[in-house]
């Protein structure tokens, strides 16, 4: 079982590291807070003890830490990418794992797993390794759902947000293909708590 989080400084340092890693792309503070809160809710709904859920939820904030190595020009672009540029963008999963996997901190080691696997998909259609099913670590499967939900329900310069109920429906319809059915079921059953976090906008 992962170690308990034992310091407010640790939490603040992870928050800051996650923000800095993505700051070149957008001001992501509220996004990261929502990811952490959504993930904690979902880990608890899946039966994890509170201490373990807290550690993994905090680690989820670092899911995109590898973007610190992605060229700013690609991160800030609002248009389309060439196939070669998509390969560069997708490397943030590998870069995040490389940055974190040898850390002594249990939080950072957990974050390495999440960074590597949060774009893998249940049917093997994701990246970087086309891992499928329960071969994808639970933390990556959870982060995949909450990251997509927040992406769908958050407006960006290049897209409008969709209604959270529509986002729930899209995720539910992707159960068994893109997402772990058990994780989706727990997410849908946690709708009241998820909507409360959504309405707070991460405050």
DSSP one-letter string for the chain: -PPPP--HHHHHHHHHHHHHHHTTT---HHHHHHHHHHHHHHHHHTT--HHHHHHHHHHHTTTTGGGGGS-HHHHH--S---HHHHHHHHTHHHHHHHHHTT-SSHHHHHHHHHHHHTT--TTS-SSSS---GGGS-HHHHHHHHHHHHHHHHS-BTTB----HHHHHHHHHHTBTTTB-HHHHHHHHHTHHHHHHHHHHTT-
Identify the pLDDT of residue 2: 47
**CATH number (domain holding residue 56):** 1.10.3210.10
Identify the pLDDT of residue 155: 80
Domain-embedded: residue 192 = yes
Q: Does 84 score more than 90 pLDDT?
A: yes
Q: Report yes or no: 183 and 141 within 8 Å, Cβ to Cβ.
A: yes
Q: DSSP for 134-158?
A: GGS-HHHHHHHHHHHHHHHHS-BTT
The mean per-residue pLDDT over the stretch 41-64 comes to: 96
The mean per-residue pLDDT over the stretch 53-74 comes to: 93
Domain-embedded: residue 15 = yes
Collapsing DSSP to helix, strand or coil, 55 comes out as helix
| Residue 26 domain boundaries | 8-200
The mean per-residue pLDDT over the stretch 97-125 comes to: 96
Q: Does 88 score more than 90 pLDDT?
A: yes
Domain-embedded: residue 21 = yes
The mean per-residue pLDDT over the stretch 188-198 comes to: 97
Which segment of 11-15, 59-63, 82-86, 193-197 scores lowest on mean pLDDT? 11-15
- Go through the chain and tell me how many residues it has: 203
What is the domain count for the chain? 1
Domain-embedded: residue 136 = yes
- From the list 162, 186, 147, the residue with the least C-alpha distance to 37 is 147
Given pLDDT bands bounded at 50, 70 and 90, which one contains residue 19? confident
Domain-embedded: residue 85 = yes
Identify the pLDDT of residue 181: 98
Distance CA 8, CA 21 (A): 20
Domain-embedded: residue 2 = no
Identify the pLDDT of residue 80: 84
């Amino acid at each position: 079982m992962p170690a308990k989080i034992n310091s407010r400084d640790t939490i603040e340092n992870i928050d800051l590291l996650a923000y800095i890693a993505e700051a070149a792309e957008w001001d992501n503070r509220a996004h990261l807070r929502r990811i952490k809160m959504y993930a904690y809710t979902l880990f608890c709904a899946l039966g994890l003890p509170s201490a373990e859920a807290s550690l993994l939820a905090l680690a989820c904030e670092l899911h995109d830490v590898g973007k610190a190595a992605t060229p700013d020009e690609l991160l800030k672009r609002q248009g389309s990418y060439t196939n070669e540029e998509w390969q560069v963008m997708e490397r943030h999963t590998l870069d995040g794992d490389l940055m974190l996997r040898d850390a002594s901190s249990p939080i950072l080691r957990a974050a390495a797993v999440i960074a590597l696997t949060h774009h893998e998909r249940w049917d093997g259609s994701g990246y970087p390794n086309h891992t499928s099913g329960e071969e994808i670590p639970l933390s990556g499967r959870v982060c995949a759902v909450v990251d997509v939900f927040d992406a769908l329900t958050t407006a960006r310069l290049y897209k409008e947000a969709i209604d959270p109920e529509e986002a729930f429906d899209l995720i539910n319809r992707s159960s068994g293909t893109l997402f772990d059915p058990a994780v989706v079921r727990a997410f849908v059953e946690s709708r009241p708590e998820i909507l409360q976090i959504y309405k707070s906008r991460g405050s």
